[in-house]
């Protein structure tokens, strides 16, 4: 379980998250929604210790993460797919997966790069194409495949659908659900698309200007139409 309490985040002197508290149970699938600049990306970067200065408590299965560096959190099974994907442009699709596989601790290696590639039909035909020439949708699928090969215990996805064609978005939703089903990992999805978030998650938290303004199930969210009208600009 991920436990966050009294989390404040700063970029230099700029205070961007304010006293956030949240729990994500083992295997839970949670959407973190809000407008651009609401603090979604800052939150998951705090969980990974990969950006803003964080003050407050972040625990994983009861252990305080404190100042543990991001690579140690990755070794523990945290897997962050950033908004800009960070595909290695001078390596092929398959080589990108091999790099991720090599960096995964042996006890968590359950599938080879070729086996993971076979689960992403859109990636098969481009297995030998350099990452730098892939389309945005292809890069996003590759970034998700790179996460899957690490057999995550906590998957953090930051704005995965931004700028993607509807067909890719549908494929991506199916792949996210499959990865969560196969690995049993918890999911925190930062997203603006209500449709995609509903497809992938069971709970929703809404941020506005760095503050948590709603937490609950999708049924709870639907019963509060003013939350969508006031805090979200999404379809």
* 67: confidence class by pLDDT, cuts 50, 70, 90: confident
Element (H, E) at 142: helix 136-148
Q: What's the mean pLDDT in 53-59? A: 95
Look at residue 104 and tell me whether its pLDDT is greater than 60: yes
pLDDT, mean over the chain: 94
Q: What's the mean pLDDT in 220-234? A: 89
Cβ burial of 123 (10 Å; 0-12, 13-18, 19+) is buried
How far apart CA 3 and CA 137 sit, in angstroms, is 32
Cβ burial of 50 (10 Å; 0-12, 13-18, 19+) is middle
Query: Which DSSP symbol is given to 1?
Result: -
Look at residue 234 and tell me whether its pLDDT is greater than 80: no
What pTM was estimated for this model as a whole?
A: 0.94
CA angle at 143 for the pair 141 and 146, rounded to the nearest 5°: 110
The confidence score (pLDDT) of residue 233 equals 66
Q: Write the pLDDT tens digit of every residue in 107-156.
A: 888 889 999 999 999 999 999 999 999 999 999 999 999 999 999 999 99
Look at residue 235 and tell me whether its pLDDT is greater than 90: no
Pairing of strands 53-60, 63-64: antiparallel
The confidence score (pLDDT) of residue 101 equals 94
Q: Which residue has the higher pLDDT, 67 or 178?
A: 178
Contact (CB, 8 A) for 194 and 32: no
Look at residue 163 and tell me whether its pLDDT is greater than 90: no
């Amino acid at each position: 379980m991920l436990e966050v309490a009294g989390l404040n985040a700063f970029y230099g002197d700029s205070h961007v998250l304010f006293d956030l508290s949240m729990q994500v149970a083992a295997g839970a699938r949670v959407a973190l929604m809000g407008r651009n600049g609401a603090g979604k990306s800052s939150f998951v970067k705090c969980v990974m210790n990969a950006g803003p200065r964080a003050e407050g408590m972040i625990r994983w299965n009861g252990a305080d993460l404190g100042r543990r560096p991001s690579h140690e959190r990755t070794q523990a099974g945290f897997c962050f797919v950033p908004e800009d994907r960070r595909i290695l442009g001078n390596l092929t699709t398959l080589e990108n997966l091999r790099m991720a596989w090599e960096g995964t601790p042996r006890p968590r290696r359950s599938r080879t790069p070729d086996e993971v590639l076979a689960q992403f039909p859109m990636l098969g035909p481009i297995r030998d194409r350099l990452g730098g020439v892939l389309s945005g949708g292809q890069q996003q699928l590759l970034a998700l495949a790179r996460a899957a090969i690490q057999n995550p215990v906590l998957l953090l996805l930051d704005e995965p659908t931004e700028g993607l064609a509807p067909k890719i978005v549908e494929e991506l939703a199916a792949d996210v659900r499959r990865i969560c089903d196969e690995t049993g990992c918890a999911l925190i999805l930062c997203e603006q698309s209500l449709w995609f978030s509903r497809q992938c998650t069971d709970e929703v938290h809404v941020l506005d200007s760095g503050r948590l303004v709603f937490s609950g199930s999708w049924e709870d969210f639907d019963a509060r139409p003013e939350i969508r009208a006031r805090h979200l600009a999404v379809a």
